[in-house]
A and B are shown apart, each in its own frame.
Chain A
Amino acid sequence: MAGKIAAIALNTFKEAVRNRVLYVLLFFSVVIMLGAWVASTLSIDDETKIVRDLGAGAINFIALLIAVFVGIGLVYNDLDKKTIYTIISKPISRWHFLVGKYLGLLLTIAVNVLFMTWIFCAVLYLRGYLAGDVMYEALYFVDDEGYLNYRGVFAHLFYLVWSAVKALVFGLLHVVMFGMEGVLGIPGAAATQGLFMTSVLTILEMAIITAFAVLFSSFSSPTLSAFMTVIVFIIGRLNQELYLFADTMVQRAGGMEALGGGQVVAYYFSVVAAHLSPNLAVFNQRRELAEFQDIQLGVMDISYGIAYTAMILTIAAIVFNRRNFK
Chain B
Amino acid sequence: MSRLLEGKRGLRDALLGVLVLVLLAGAVLYQNRRFEDLGFRVFIYEQRINLPPSDVLRFATLGYDSVYANWLWLVSIQAFGSGWRTEDGTAGPIFNFFDTLTDVDPQFISAYRFGNLVVGDQRGDYELGRDLLRKGTLENVRNYDLPYLGIYNALWMANEEADARWFAIMLRRMEHAPNFMLRLEEFIERTAGRYEMAFEYNVRYWMDYHLAGNDVERDLIEGRIQVLLDQWYKQELTASAERYLEAHGEHPTEMEDLLTEEFMPAFEAPTFQSFRAAMDRRTQQFAGMPARREIPQEIVDEVIEDSTETIVGLPPCPWGTWYFIHEPTRIAYPERRDLFDDSKGFPYLTTAQGLMDIVNRHNMNAQEFILDFYREHERRPTQEEIAHLLTRDPVGGHYVYQREAEESPTFGVFYSTGQRRLADGADPRMGVRGPDPHRFLPDGLRLAPRLSDFPEEEQWGREHGYILDDGTELWEPGVTDPDLEMLLPPEDDEMPQEMPAPPPAP
Residues of A within 8 A of B (CB): 39, 42-46, 49-50, 53-54, 57, 60-61, 233-234, 237-238, 241, 280-281, 284, 286-287, 290-291
Contact = CB atoms under 8 A, between A and B. Distances in A.
B308 interface: no
B293 to A, nearest CB: 30
B106 to A, nearest CB: 9
Interface of B: 58-59, 62-67, 70, 73-74, 77, 105, 107-110, 113-114, 506
Given A44-B506, A46-B506, A287 B77 contact: no
A53 B66 contact: yes
B59 A241 contact: yes
A53 B70 contact: yes
Nearest to A50: B70
A50 B63 contact: no
Contact of B64 (A45, A61, A291): A61
Contacts of B113: 45
Contacts of B65: 287
A317 to B, nearest CB: 29
A301 to B, nearest CB: 15
A291 B63 contact: no
Q: Is the interface of A mostly helix, strand, loop or mixed?
A: helix
Contact of B74 (A39, A234, A241, A286): A39
Given A57-B64, A287-B105, A287-B107, A49 B70 contact: yes
30 contacts: A42-B74, A42-B77, A43-B73, A43-B74, A44-B77, A44-B506, A45-B113, A45-B114, A45-B506, A46-B73, A46-B108, A50-B70, A50-B73, A53-B67, A53-B70, A54-B70, A57-B64, A57-B66, A57-B67, A60-B64, A233-B62, A234-B62, A238-B59, A238-B63, A241-B58, A241-B59, A280-B63, A284-B63, A286-B67, A287-B66
A250 to B, nearest CB: 16
A237 B59 CA distance: 9
Contacts of A39: 70, 74
- By Cβ-Cβ distance, the 7 closest A-B pairs, closest first, are A45-B506, A237-B63, A57-B67, A45-B110, A287-B66, A46-B110, A237-B62
Contacts of B59: 238, 241
B62 A290 contact: no
B110 A291 contact: no
A46 B62 CA distance: 23
Given A39-B74, A43-B77, A281 B67 contact: no
B6 to A, nearest CB: 47
Given A54-B70, A286-B66, A290-B66, 13 more contacts: A43-B73, A44-B506, A45-B113, A45-B114, A46-B506, A50-B70, A53-B70, A57-B66, A57-B67, A237-B63, A238-B62, A286-B67, A287-B107
Nearest to B69: A53
A143 B105 CA distance: 49
Contacts of B506: 44-46
Contacts of A53: 66-67, 70
Contact of B107 (A45, A241, A281, A291): A291
Contacts of A234: 62
Nearest to B142: A293
Nearest to A230: B62
Q: Which of A46, A61, A237, A284 has the most B CB atoms < 10 Å from its CB?
A: A46
Contacts of B74: 39, 42-43, 50
Contacts of B109: 46
A61 B67 CA distance: 11
Contacts of B64: 57, 60-61
A120 to B, nearest CB: 14
A50 B105 CA distance: 12
A170 to B, nearest CB: 25
Contacts of A281: 63
Nearest to B63: A237
Contacts of B62: 233-234, 237-238
A303 B18 CA distance: 72
Nearest to B143: A291
A311 B430 CA distance: 87
A242 to B, nearest CB: 9
A57 B69 CA distance: 12
A54 B63 contact: no
Contacts of B114: 44-45
A268 to B, nearest CB: 19
Nearest to B114: A45
Nearest to B109: A46
Contacts of B110: 45-46, 49
A280 B64 CA distance: 12
A258 B414 CA distance: 87
Contacts of A61: 64
Contacts of A238: 59, 62-63
